[in-house]
Structure formats: C-alpha cells, structure tokens
C-alpha cells in the first residue's frame, strides 16, 4: 500500500480538530460509463456485460468554500488520493493524487490500463481518501503522521461471485494431502481452457493460496512487493499449466480470459498468440514479462 493511504490507529480517531472533514466525501458519485446514472450504493453487483464495458468516472463533489472552512490554512497539507484495488489479483494501484492546495478536481477518469484485472476477475474497489501529505505538526486534534486520513470512502463493484472468471481460494491442508503436494506449497492453480468465452456461474481458473497466507494477502494489508511477487507466481503458474488451452489455440477468441491476459502483459499493445506462445516456451522471459507488467521492480524499490 502506498504511504499516503496509511492511517493512524483507529483508537486515535476521530481527530477532534478535523472532525468536520470526515463527511467531506459523503456526496461523491461514481458512474460506470459516460451516460450512466450514478451508482445507487457504495456496494453494487453488476452483470458481465456491464463489467466488460466499464469506464468509471468519479465525481468527488468537493466544495471549494467548504474545504476552506474545514481546513483553513491547513488545506495545502492534504491530498485527495484515489486508489484501485482488485482483491482477486491481490493488487492495489494508485490512480492519482491531487494536492488540495490546488482547486479540487470535478471529474476523475479511471485509466483503461488499470481496469484489466477488474474486468478479468469481476471485482474492484475504488478507494477515495483525503490524506496528510507529509509529517507535519498541524496542532492539537489534527493528524501528524504521513498518510493519515481525515475522510475516506470506497466503492465496491463486482459480479456475483459465481460469475467471476478467475478466483482465489484457500489451499487447505486437506487439499495438500489429496494432491500429494509439498507441505510448504504456497500457490497451486487449477486451470481450464483460457481461450473460450465462459458462461455465468463458471470460472476458467482458480488459484489456491496457502491457508496461512490467504487472509493476509486478500486483506490488501501486505507490502506491495509481497503481493506483486505472489501475483507473478499465480500468473506464471496459470500460463504454464498444460490445461490452459494455449498450445492448441490457433487464434485468440474475442471476449475470452486469454484476450485479457494478452492485453495485460504489455503496456503498449496486446500480445499476439504467437508472441504469447513464444513467451510460454521461454519460462525465464515469461517471468520477466510478468514482473514488468506488474511493476515488480518499482514495488521492490520501496522495501
């Protein structure tokens, strides 16, 4: 998680000096694509067609006059921070942060490049918070640790769990014994053909994570480098599985999980089927490509 979305312990909240700030984001709105009405609740189940077409826009609805009243001279010490979390991929991305010393944005578009995992797994969380940018002494009743939030909210948008094409589950001790796996196995995957369009209620792949680690990883509370490493392990395992249907494919089927994977592995353009097969035949290059697509070096630099 990025530093500016950390919070001081809940026992120290609310900050009595910043209490008025806690409701600043109560009126924010989210639309899933241009022309839609705002989503009616902060937690929403949508269908597969809606998920495939999402192009979210956030409207923070922050009043300049109210920001001035709430923060006064302290306003420039805070940022508006937008994050996108895809729990099934154990991934959280910083969408953008906006200094509140400047005029607050009216509209925030979520970049298409960040939505690939959400569309593949059928679930995402859009987090919005107002956080302290630097460690500062703002006076009694105000936060002082970098990243402490004074207001926040989350939109959780997803398919019915049964519709998700990719799932993460617990690798139990029973499963380890049944499959004759080493006791310390961290990740195991079950994969079906990735190159078909799946009906509702079915999944193309399930990644099983060690029971001892599953809760920590899926909570989103681990270091970004740790979740990035796990993500790389899962993706490489899925693409290396002999059951994924890639070896037999002659073209990438539109709307299939494989189409999304080919898009996500390159920041500039979708990989062709030939390029994808060449990567799979070269495990070292495959791992390097997955590391690059996940920004692993960037995350490790923060350790």
Q: According to the 3-state scheme, what is the secondary structure of 168-232?
A: EEEECHHHHHHCCCCCCCCEEEEECCCCCCCCCCCCCEEEEEEHHHHHHHHCCCCCHHHHHHHHH
Over the chain, what is the mean pLDDT? Answer: 84
What pLDDT does 112 receive? 87
DSSP assigned state of 160: -
pLDDT > 50? residue 1: no
Contact between 58 and 128 under an 8 Å Cβ cutoff? The reply is: yes
Full DSSP string of 262-303: HHHT-SSSPPPHHHHHHHHT-HHHHHHHHHHHHTHHHHHTT-
Most confident of 4-8, 20-24, 120-124: 20-24
pLDDT tier for residue 11 given thresholds of 50, 70 and 90: very low
Residue 181: how many CB atoms within 10 A of its CB? 13
Full DSSP string of 30-68: EESSTTPPPPSSSEEE--HHHHHT---EEE----HHHHH
pLDDT tier for residue 96 given thresholds of 50, 70 and 90: very high
Its pTM stands at 0.59
What distance in Å separates the CA atoms of residue 90 and residue 168, rounded to the nearest whole number? Answer: 9
Q: How many CA atoms does the CB half-sphere of 75 hold within 13 Å?
A: 18
What pLDDT does 6 receive? 46
Question: When comparing pLDDT for 287 and 4, which is higher?
Answer: 287
What pLDDT does 273 receive? 93
pLDDT > 90? residue 48: no
SS3 of residue 158 by DSSP: strand
Mean pLDDT of 93-104: 94
Question: When comparing pLDDT for 217 and 80, which is higher?
Answer: 80
181-217 confidence digits (pLDDT tens): 998 898 899 888 888 877 655 678 888 888 777 766 6
């Amino acid at each position: 998680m990025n530093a500016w979305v950390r919070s001081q312990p809940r026992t120290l909240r609310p900050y009595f000096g910043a209490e008025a700030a806690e409701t600043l984001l109560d009126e924010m709105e989210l639309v899933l694509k241009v022309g839609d009405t705002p989503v009616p609740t902060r937690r929403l189940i949508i269908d597969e067609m809606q998920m495939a077409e999402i192009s979210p826009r956030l409207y923070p609805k922050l009043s300049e006059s109210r920001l001035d009243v709430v923060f006064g001279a302290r306003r420039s010490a805070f940022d508006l921070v937008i994050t996108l979390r895809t729990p099934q991929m154990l991934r959280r991305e910083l969408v953008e942060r906006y200094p509140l010393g400047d005029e607050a944005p009216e509209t925030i578009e979520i970049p298409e490049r960040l939505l690939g995992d959400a569309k593949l797994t059928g679930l995402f969380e859009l987090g919005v918070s107002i956080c302290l940018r630097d460690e500062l002494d703002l006076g009694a009743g105000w936060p002082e640790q970098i990243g402490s939030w004074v207001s926040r909210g989350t939109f959780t948008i997803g398919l019915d769990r049964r519709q998700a094409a990719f799932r993460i589950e617990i690798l139990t001790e029973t499963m380890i014994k049944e499959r004759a796996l080493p006791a310390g196995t961290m990740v195991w995957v079950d994969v079906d053909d990735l190159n078909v369009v799946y009906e509702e209620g079915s999944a193309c792949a399930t990644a099983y994570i060690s029971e001892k680690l599953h809760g920590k990883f899926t909570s989103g509370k681990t270091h970004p480098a740790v979740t990035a490493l796990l993500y790389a392990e899962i993706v490489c395992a899925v693409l290396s599985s002999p059951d994924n249907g890639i070896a037999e494919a002659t073209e990438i089927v539109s709307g299939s999980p494989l189409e999304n994977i080919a898009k996500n592995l390159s920041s500039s353009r979708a990989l062709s089927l030939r390029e994808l097969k060449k990567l799979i035949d070269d495990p070292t290059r495959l791992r390097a490509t997955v590391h690059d697509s996940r920004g692993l070096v960037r995350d490790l630099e923060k350790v």
